Amino acid sequence: MSKQIIKYVLLLIGAAILALLQFSFISALPWPFNNFELSLVAIVFSFLLFNKKDSWIIAIALGFFTDLWLFHPYGTAILSLFFTAVVIYLVLENLLTNRSLYSFLLITIIAVLVNTIFTRIFLVIFDWSGANTSHFLTSSLFWGSLMWNLILSLVVVGFIFSVLALLSRRLKPFFLKRR
Amino acid sequence: MLLFWKQRNYWHWLVVILLILIFHWVGLLHPVENYLAKFIRPVSQSLYNIGSWFKGGPYDELSIESLEVKLEQTESDLALAIIDQTKLELLTEENDKLRQQLNFLDNNHYEAVSANIVSRQNLFNAADNAQDIILDKGVKDGLRPGLGVINESGIVIGKIVEVKDHSARACLTTGSDCQLAAALLNDSKTIGLSEGELGLTIKMDFIPQMEKIKANDILITSGLGDDIPRGLVIGRVAQVNNQSNEIWQDVTIEPLASLHNLTVVSVIIP
């Protein structure tokens, strides 16, 4: 029981550190690197490294800290990250089950797109004035940010996956060969 | 998706989230939130400075302690610079009058709160130079929405738009949603609203054609709106766009301060 509690406390501290890195360090980086969303990459790898219960805790904790420190409508991050985690879990369980590099790259793309959609939906719900969400689809800045978020996330996921593949036998960097 | 939700044990995670949201909205989480907000201050400031370093900004020359001294110095520098500018354009009598108005910082000794920038809000995908900045001072330090934010040189770089107990969000003058009550130091002292354009410049439009505006005219805060005192420099007119067949003219103003590598700012409390 005490091991469980220590584990959950460590997960919360880890999530807080990741959220703080996103909040202060990544946001201060020059364009386009400030578009990278560390939280999404962390959630993708949490399903690889931990069990699903731990992954829900990480997603909720990341959302909680992000909502706490940022100035967007409260609840946007916690809900969008949780539902993104749900989608990642469903894809990993039902579609991309072979845990290869390509699976994780595809999951990363899905995660970024799904999180963007959920974030916009919850912004519309929580930000009643709509001042911050209007006409974003026609904004080149929005599409530029999305593209760079995708590219950077794919690079980081590819790099971390390759490192983990060297250290662990649970991962396969490439698809299985056909016989 | 349906399979997921049919498994009832997943619903408790949604209940946890709903409880967090409810506890936040009724204020039960405020002590924890305040503690966490204060706890991260030094760490977030350091992380932000490291991140800013990649932009090539000279962040290590500034500190909270030195800013008060620099502010006093820049207050007098600011007043002198504006007086010099207006001497070229105004009669002696007008100049004396303006001197009284624009030297308000020296005359009134406005209080200023120094604050570190700990993050930039990138949620709404604003241009790089127009992202809102997040300060490590908030309601508990006397900040409130509408206050003006200046850099170490005394130039207005934005205004506070939202505050929490220990943090505040400020928009930058180049942000399209950042409006300031402003006045031009031309013959007729044109007043209006300035707002950011494309994250690069500031514009002031709907100015009647009869107003005479020249390049290099100085834009200052007019003191007519928000809680920003009159006379703080915002920028300099770079281009005047007036067509003879138009009712209105507009001006493009270049900010006099670099906005992409800010790390320490001051908030003027009138």
Q: How high is the pLDDT of residue B96?
A: 53
CB contact under 8 Å between A141 and B126, yes or no, is: yes
> Measured between CB atoms, does A31 come within 8 Å of chain B?
yes
Neighbours of A143 (CB within 10 A): 13
Cα A29 to Cα A23: distance, rounded to the nearest angstrom: 11
CB contact under 8 Å between A71 and B134, yes or no, is: yes
**Considering chain B, what percentage of its residues have pLDDT values greater than 70?**
79
A172 within some domain: no
Average pLDDT on B106-110 reads 60
The whole-angstrom distance between A114's CA and the closest CA on chain B is 14
Cα A148 to Cα A155: distance, rounded to the nearest angstrom: 10
CB contact under 8 Å between A133 and B124, yes or no, is: yes
Structure confidence by residue, pLDDT tens digits, A58-80? 999 999 999 988 888 888 999 99
Q: How high is the pLDDT of residue B79?
A: 66
CB contact under 8 Å between A35 and B134, yes or no, is: no
Within this chain, domains B64-171+259-269 and B179-255 share the same CATH topology: yes
A88 within some domain: yes
Cα A131 to Cα A112: distance, rounded to the nearest angstrom: 23
Closest residue by Cα to residue A37 from A124, A152, A133: A152
Closest residue by Cα to residue A83 from A113, A105, A127: A113
Structure confidence by residue, pLDDT tens digits, A95-136? 877 778 888 899 999 999 999 999 888 888 887 655 555 567
A140 within some domain: yes
pTM of the entire structure?
Answer: 0.77
Architecture of domain B64-171+259-269: Beta Barrel (2.40)
A120 within some domain: yes
CB contact under 8 Å between B119 and A28, yes or no, is: yes
Please give the tally of structural domains in chain A.
Answer: 1
Which is higher by pLDDT, B10 or B107?
B10
Which CATH number is correct for B179-255, 2.40.37.10, 2.40.10.350, 3.40.920.10, 2.40.50.100?
2.40.10.350
Cα A98 to Cα A109: distance, rounded to the nearest angstrom: 17
Task: Return the domain boundaries, chain B.
Answer: 64-171+259-269, 179-255
A106 within some domain: yes
Q: How high is the pLDDT of residue B222?
A: 86
Structure confidence by residue, pLDDT tens digits, B41-96? 888 888 888 887 777 644 445 567 777 777 777 777 776 776 676 655 555 545 55
CB contact under 8 Å between B121 and A139, yes or no, is: no
Average pLDDT on A2-24 reads 91
The whole-angstrom distance between B225's CA and the closest CA on chain A is 21
The whole-angstrom distance between A118's CA and the closest CA on chain B is 13
Write the CATH number for A71.
1.10.1760
Residue of chain A nearest B20, judged by CA positions: A64
Domain around A158: 2-167
A76 within some domain: yes
